[in-house]
Structure 1
Amino acid sequence: MSNNKIFTKCPNCDYEFSKKQKIVITFVNGKMVIRCPLCKKYFRYKEFGENEIIEDLENLKNRKKGLKYKASEDKKKANFKLLDKMLYNNYKLTNKELMERLEISETEFYRTYGEKVKEIRAKYSQQSLF
């Protein structure tokens, strides 16, 4: 009977999804989106908190290119500061060690931080007398 428990509820029509049902889940901007079979509306599933209805799914999918997200920009700034401190202490750290300490993937590291790491290394290697 544990498989038949409620998975989530539609915020519009209070339709209850059970764990036994096959639920079509799509991901929009990294968030889980479910479509209600009764009211045919999409809603964003949240693990903690209330589900919210998405009125315009098309607008959500087709965002303008180059749109910056505040949280990711803040995370980048914090990571750049941490990179600077780590390379100041030891500019000979390998890229793999830097990735592990920043807890980011290899792809993200080389796309976002690769050029900056080279610049910082060059700067601190010139300052070093050893």
Structure 2
Amino acid sequence: MHPSQSFNKLSQEWKEGDPTPHQSDVIPAISYNCLTVHWANGEEMTFYYPFLMSVRLFLAGEHNLIVLRFTSERLILKGYSLKPLKRLFAREKPSDIFVCDQRYLMPGTAGQPIVIEAVVEERKG
């Protein structure tokens, strides 16, 4: 690019009132390779998406369940309003899930996905 073209582009952006780079130009789309579960007691466990075989949502009862089947473990997430979280696994794949203590849930969190329990089971055979 010729230097005058660069200057013309910059001066045009100033005239438009936005000389800063656009977010889509600066921040690339992030695709996470793993999921880390953070329990309230400080424990963490990481699961790798290449080993994820299926994600299933159960809506029956007071709580929702999401069952993530990996090749060697099953991760069972129990909580409220988990349908949007399940949809994330098909698109963006979340990098972190934080397990909240049910006693400390705030009234304003209704409608948001909240995980109150996460259980890891070893798969047999």
The structure with more helix, counted as a fraction of residues: 1
The structure with more strand, counted as a fraction of residues: 2
1 or 2 for the larger relative contact order (CA 8 Å, sep ≥6)? 2
State whether TM-score is above 0.5: no
| TM-score (norm. length: structure 1) | 0.23
The structure that has the greater radius of gyration is 1
